Structures are given as C-alpha cells and as structure tokens.
Amino acid sequence: MSEIREICVPDIGDFKDVPVIEVLVKPGDSVRAEESILTLESDKATLDVPCPLSGIVESLMVNVGDRVSKGSAILRLKTAGEVQSGIPVPSKATVAASFEQQASAAATAAATAAATAPRPAQSPSAMPSAPGQLAAKTTVKPHASPSVRRYARELGVDIGKVAPSGKHGRILHDDVQRYVKDTMTRLEAVGQVSVSGGGGLDLLPWPKVDFAKFGEIEVKPLSRIKKISGQNLGRNWVLIPHVTNFDEADITELEAFRVRLNQEAGKEGSKLTMLAFLIKAAVATLKAYPEFNSSLGTDPGEPTLVLKRYYHIGFAADTPNGLVVPVIRDADQKGVREIAAECGELARKAREGKLGPADMSGGTFTISSLGGIGGTGFTPIINAPEVAILGVTRAQMKPVWDGNTFVPRLVLPLSLSWDHRVVDGAAAARFLVHLAGLLADFRRVML
C-alpha cells in the first residue's frame, strides 16, 4: 500500500537560509534511497541533499532560488509498500563535514589539475570560450550532480573532460552544453581550414617544459576568477580587432576641487575618488559619441549595431584572487557622491568575494584605473560585448606651455582601446579630446 511522505531538509549544521541552486527531480520522477534530490550552496561549499526513501515524486515544495534551513519541506514522495526505514538520514556532523569535504575536494582537484595535467597545444580558433576551462582530464572525480551526469551520458559526453564554471569546481548543465558547442565549433573550424587551404593561424604548439629540472619551483592553482578572466580576455584579444589611442587630460582644477570637497565633508563624509568623476565624465562623452556605448548584434547573417540608451559603467576592481568588473548601473542618473559611495561598496564586496551576477552584468562601457598603483599608459583589452574600454594611470605634475611660460599642471594619462569593426581612429581621437575637455573643466558635464 502506497504512502505519501513529506521529505524535509536534514540537519545541515550551523547553516541557515541556504539558497537552492538546483532541483534535481520533478513530479513523476522515480528516486532511490540516498539519491540526490536537491543542491544547496553556502558561501563555503555546495551540498547535494539525499532522499532518505525510495519512491515517486508526488509534488515539489521548493524552487531554484528559494532559501531553506533544517526542517524545510522539499517534496512529497509516494512510497510503495513498507517504508525503507533502514536508510539513515544524514546526521548534522555528516552533512556539515560534507560541505567542507566538497570544498576541499574542489580545491584539491584544481591544484592537481594545475600540477599534473599536460597542456595540449591550442590555436586561437580552438581556444575554449567557457569560463574556467581545464586543459586536460584529471584523475579527480568530477564534481557534478546526478542530473548533470545523466545529461552528459545522454549526449555521449565524458564528464571528466567538461570544464566547471560553478563554485568550487562544480560542473553545471550549461558547462556540458558549452562543451558540446565548443567541440562542434572546433570541428567546423578544422573543416573550413582544410577547405580554404590553410586559412587558420597555424600557430606553433605551446612549449612543454619541465621547469623543475632547471631549479626549485612552486605550483599553485589559478583562482577561479583568473581562470574565467583569462579565457575571456584571450577570446576578446583574438577575436576583436583592437586599436588603442592615447591622450592626456589636465586635471589640475578637478583634483583641487575633489580635495576641497573631501575636506569640507570631514572624516564622517564619504570620500570622493577620481574614479567617480571619470565615470560621470565618461557618461557625458558616451552621450556625445553613442557608438562607443553600443555592441555588435549577435545575428551572424545580418550584422547590426545595437545602440544602448542606458549607461551602465563597469570598473576594474583589484582583489586578492584577481580582477573583477563591478557595474555602476544608470550612472547617468546618479551624482558624483552617489557614484563614489556605490563604487566603494562594490569594491568592498569584490574584495570579500560577495559580488553577485547582477553586480557584474549589463555593462556598456568599462574603465580600468591603475592610478592608485602607477604607470604611464597601457593597452586595456575590451570587455566583450562592449566596443571600447578606457584605461587610466597615475596623474603626474608636468611643465605645460601656456603660451608665455611653462607652468606646473597635473596631467592624467588616458588610453582608449576600441573595436575597429565599430569605431574608427578619427572618432576615437574625438572621444578622448571631448573627455579630456570635460575633465579639464568639469562644469561642462552639466551642459
């Protein structure tokens, strides 16, 4: 005789309000005892919640994005015959340990891959575009949910060859799809090269070197941020025809104005940074030259240019694990103080690893500022699908000829990288001249 049982979240230790990132079953599915039915993710690790009984899923009581704690109802299960009471529900210690074990296992997997995996040669046409793609299969068991493993088996994909993009090295459904798409793209590219008679780049294989034979070495795994940014930057540099223009802006009066405002605000007020003024000036310049606030359309059969009427400005933030790009949304509707406060909050979240997807998506133009570190100029890589990026280095006092004599002025170096498919050199030069004029006399931003 069947019985309807309500399955709840077991004791998961000190974790509360843990978000649900994946529901592994649906109504009508048959599940076995100890099969995972739900995936939770804390700030430390992910956890697959097992079903303590065998049966058929009658209904679900949680969705992706919900937050659950111990005792939260997950689903109703129709059990056949006697309830299999011999299957123990995981204890608090077991589940809590599982969190930590999964986190440490993912870290160990990354370290092992970096230390032992051979790196095959890749041409830019074969470069993986997936975030965090690994160079080769490792001996560590891939970290993926049962549904993802089942999905990979259905497509005939070796799960061990799929690059993870989830937290702590977790393989997601999208990773499997991306692996299949990348494989098909590489096969098509090989076919095109053979037909065109060598139309590829024909790069030499990446050198394989045993560095240890030359001296002492230390092997460290790349952080997840560096893996993701490395793959994206490599793709962007190869696929976008970059050109970089350089110019300088006289910010003598603007810096004096900024210092005076900070002094008036005192210790209690929020500090105005030069980045906040740069963002505001960049928005005004983007309005004057809207092609810099655009993206190429995604339909390969009909090239188009998507001009955006919103201004979401990204800025590169340095963190212990690598660079990330938080986004100031609707910067055109915010004052300099509000922008400065939001930049400070997003930078803090970036350093603490607490930025969410919404904090880093939707950007239309990016500013990469190294002013707090130094340098006299650099060529920033465009953050696709944007078409331009502004690089800024440290301002320096320079003697500037005013028509009669040399006077000391504070000069800020500017570097603008742009996509030559969308922008030309004359437009880029005018963009920088306009921006430099706004920074020299910030009152013009209001015009």
Q: What is the DSSP letter of 169?
A: G
Element (H, E) at 232: helix 224-239
**Helices 425-440 and 252-265, packing angle to 10 deg:** 50
**Residue 20 pairs with which residues in a beta bridge?**
40
Alpha-carbon distances, residue 422 vs 263, 332, 363, 425, 428 (angstroms): 43, 23, 17, 10, 11
**Looking at the annotation, which residues are catalytic?**
420
Longest dimension (CA), the chain: 101
Contacts for 117 with CB less than 8 Å, ≥ 6 apart: 134, 135, 136, 137, 138
CA 176, 181, 186: angle at the middle one, nearest 5? 125
Alpha-carbon distances, residue 85 vs 57, 79, 88 (angstroms): 18, 12, 7
Question: Phi and psi dihedrals of 185, rounded to 5?
Answer: -65, -45
CA 76, 80, 82: angle at the middle one, nearest 5? 105
Q: What SS3 state is found at 388?
A: strand
**By the 8 A CB rule, do 152 and 183 touch?**
no
